[in-house]
Amino acid sequence: MFTDLVDLLHTDTVQGHFLAVTEQPPADASFVLCHLINRALRAGGAVRVLALDKPPAHYRHLCAKCGADVRQAEAAGALTFVDGAQLTARALRSDSGALTAGGPLPVRAVFDQLTGSADRSASLLVLDDLSALAALGCRPADLLLLVHNLQRWCRRRDAALATLTSRDADDRTLCQLAAAVAGSADLAVTVRGLSSGHCAEVTGELELRRPGEAALLRQFKAEDRNVRVFAAGTSRAVL
Amino acid sequence: MFEKILSVKPEGTSILIIDAGDGSYRHLLSSYVQHRQQQQVSVSWVPCGQSADELPGTSGSSAGPIEQSDSSDQDWETAEDIGRQLEAALPLPGPPARLLVVRDASRLLHWLGPTALCRLIRRSCDRGHQVVLGVLEEAVPEEHLSQLRHYSTHVLSVEGAGRELTVSGTYRFKAGKVETATERVSLSADLVVTRVEPARPVPAVPAAARAAPAAPLAPGLTTFSLQLSETEKQSRDRLVLPYLRPEQGGGDSGPGTGQIFYQPDAADDWDEEDPDDDLDI
């Protein structure tokens, strides 16, 4: 499952690394995070996912389609979802229980929920996604601080960190945030659609960039239970 | 020009390396630091998220309090903590001159603002040390970058991937001379500068290579005629265009002889006076 992605991302050696995934609408990069989650579960590690942009049911469904036993993993504590919507509601409620209008979501609360005070064995932290936190009023500086501290936390425990940022070309702040996060990552993955429009055989483009190296560009086709990755111009429609 | 900044005395100067988006500035920055280390210059790295052992060349550098931040028990670091670490990393005045390296100033700009970094540059240079900063152009607001450019002695903009880089630099030397140059810099596998040459400008297409006017099509290639017969050409030449006055001599006026004739109607408020006459310029 996702064997092409395994070869491309070298996900066998991501412990202690930081993968920054950027999606350019209308592309959807959920499959990259799903792949990382499945790989970590197969390796016997524990995964914590902050699902803010998409509900935990989305990831449960995707991971189950790719062969992971999500229920068993959750029952065993290997897979933990932090519901971002509930976290946001809790953080924005006043002491009386009413929702307060002002103030952004405190990123320290996100950090505490994701790292978890009692669980020190997590091998993968997934943060989906930073753009949603920005939409809730978090400044880019606070989000970069959150990523920085998550990196430090993961490095000490030899865990991997994966973040997702949705980069809207019309929002300069989001573009700067995505570039800053990708610039600090060990591997930056960008998922975008084709510039020429919709194609039945090619879903979009994958760009992989490691610091100081030339970008590797591939195209991919998202199927029901798999993602095929191939060099540009070598899709089944052409060959 | 890039070789010049490798050879001149670096004390009291700063270099800002701006990456155009390929992430290749790190090679150039590491190459420069390696060059200084070979000259027995002490290097202090300012980590910006990575651990101390991930920083290149740390074996030859002296460890300061900032490199020990990872070993603290504190799980959450605030921007103020990072600012204090930056202050602590500032070398003391006096010889020997040190090199302070800020590998990724993009995030520091967001956390601390450009004022703190500019202050760091100025204070380090006043104390006789050198500062090298790397920043991603896409990751910071342009107004922050312009402030850093203003405070930096040399500003290098790096493009390209791998070890073949195009460096566009603005170099300010102590005599007050400012020079700009665009060069191709080649680095070896161990980040040693192997070649620096001026970047070749894109050659202009010579006039002779421009496409010649299309030759007339050979007859019989199409079922319809694309060419004019002699009779049709004469008829076209004799045609008088309706918007040209008869005294202009038809449509064969040369360049610069066109005029605009405006006939105001009854509704127009035609004023012969110069509308800008009341301006006191």
Give the pLDDT of residue B109.
92
Q: Are B107 and A180 in contact (CB < 8 Å)?
A: yes
CA distance A204 to A111: 32
For B274, the token pair is: 């110069």
Split at pLDDT 50, 70, 90, the class of A143 is very high
Give the pLDDT of residue B61.
43
Give the pLDDT of residue B71.
45
Q: Find residue A207's DSSP bridge partners.
A: A190, A217
**B-contacting residues of A 196-225, CB under 8 Å?**
209, 211-215
Does the structure show a pLDDT above 70 at B264?
A: yes
Instruction: Judge whether B22 is closer than 8 Å to chain A, CB to CB.
Output: yes
For residues A122-126, give the mean pLDDT: 87
Chain A closest-CA separation from residue B19 CA (Å): 10
Judging contacts by C-beta atoms under 8 Å, the chain B residues touching residue A145 are 77-79, 111
Chain A closest-CA separation from residue B222 CA (Å): 34
Does the structure show a pLDDT above 50 at B225?
A: yes
Q: Are A183 and B27 in contact (CB < 8 Å)?
A: no
Q: Is B252 helix (H, G, I), strand (E, B) or coil?
A: coil
Instruction: Judge whether B27 is closer than 8 Å to chain A, CB to CB.
Output: yes
Q: Are B76 and A155 in contact (CB < 8 Å)?
A: no
CA distance A156 to A111: 15
For residues A80-87, give the mean pLDDT: 82
Least confident interval from B1-10, B112-121, B208-217: B208-217
pTM over 0.80: no
**B-contacting residues of A 144-163, CB under 8 Å?**
144-145, 147-149, 151-153, 155-156
CA distance A190 to A178: 10
CA distance B197 to B185: 7
H-helix segments, chain B: 2-7, 25-38, 79-89, 105-126, 142-151, 230-238
Pick one of 3.40.50.300, 3.40.605.10, 2.40.70.10, 3.60.21.10 as the CATH number of A8-200.
Answer: 3.40.50.300
Give the pLDDT of residue A180.
92
More confident residue, A12 or A94: A94
Average model confidence (pLDDT) for chain B? 76
